[in-house]
Amino acid sequence: MTSIGLTIAGLALGFRELAPYFASGYNEADRFAVLSGGDYYPGISRFGRDMYLDECTNTGGGAFALFQPVEERTRLIDNCLVQALALQQAAPLDSRVWIVTAELQAAAGRLDEMHSAIERSRQASPGIVPYAIRRLSLLARYDMASRDEAGRLSDLATLFNSDSGRLYLSNLYAGNDDDRALVTELLAKQPLEVQEKFVAALQRNQGGSGS
């Protein structure tokens, strides 16, 4: 009976976590409406937090949002930011919270706050490649790489350790002479095995592009 009771309690908790998600609708328009209206909020578990943050990123940055009135997009960003800032207090070491905060601050035009959140994201998870790519993308998009050169170099070095990271680096290498020189310099500091993996990824990428 105890195990049945625990199972029921677990199901109830799971439903409570998922209820805001399903209530937000099944398409991008519905999710945009509830996020901009402040009617969707994070669950109490890590899973619930992550689901909410992903929705802020995916819906707020999606194609549907681009065609909505500026004031509605601003409300969505502001509502997501309110929740993200609250989650920072509850989970200050959660890098996902910080990188989503950085993306939301950037969307709101607050670049100083974006940079601060990028730094906190890096402190929380310096070696997680997807977050490193998101940090680098923000710095590049808002032309702030020179302001965070040490952090940028640290993130770039991290990318040598995964397939997705090596793809990012191979694209960077193919970009311009300065980027090519930077990747080459960082590559020289990597173990031979890592260097070989990057060269293989670079060759695949160049072959796929027809060059």
Quick one: pLDDT at residue 211? 45
Enter the pTM of the model: 0.82
Tokens describing residue 195: 């260097």
Tell me if 94 sits within 8 A of 123, measured CB to CB: no
Quick one: pLDDT at residue 13? 45
Q: One digit per residue, pLDDT tens: the chain, 211 residues?
A: 555 544 444 444 444 455 555 555 568 888 899 899 988 878 788 888 899 999 999 998 888 998 999 999 999 999 999 999 999 988 889 999 999 999 999 999 999 999 999 999 999 988 999 999 999 999 999 999 888 899 999 999 999 999 999 999 999 999 889 999 999 999 999 999 999 999 999 998 877 554 4
Quick one: pLDDT at residue 28? 87
Which amino acid is residue 79, in one-letter code?
A: N
Quick one: pLDDT at residue 38? 85
| Residue among 109, 82, 80, 114 at smallest CA distance from 99 | 114
Quick one: pLDDT at residue 40? 82
| Residue among 171, 156, 158, 177 at smallest CA distance from 201 | 171
Report DSSP state, residue 161. Answer: G
Computed over its alpha carbons, how large is the radius of gyration of the chain? 20
Quick one: pLDDT at residue 42? 85
Tell me if 71 sits within 8 A of 54, measured CB to CB: no
Quick one: pLDDT at residue 43? 79
| Residue among 107, 126, 121 at smallest CA distance from 65 | 107
Q: In whole angstroms, what separates CA 205 from the centre of its chain? A: 24
Quick one: pLDDT at residue 90? 87
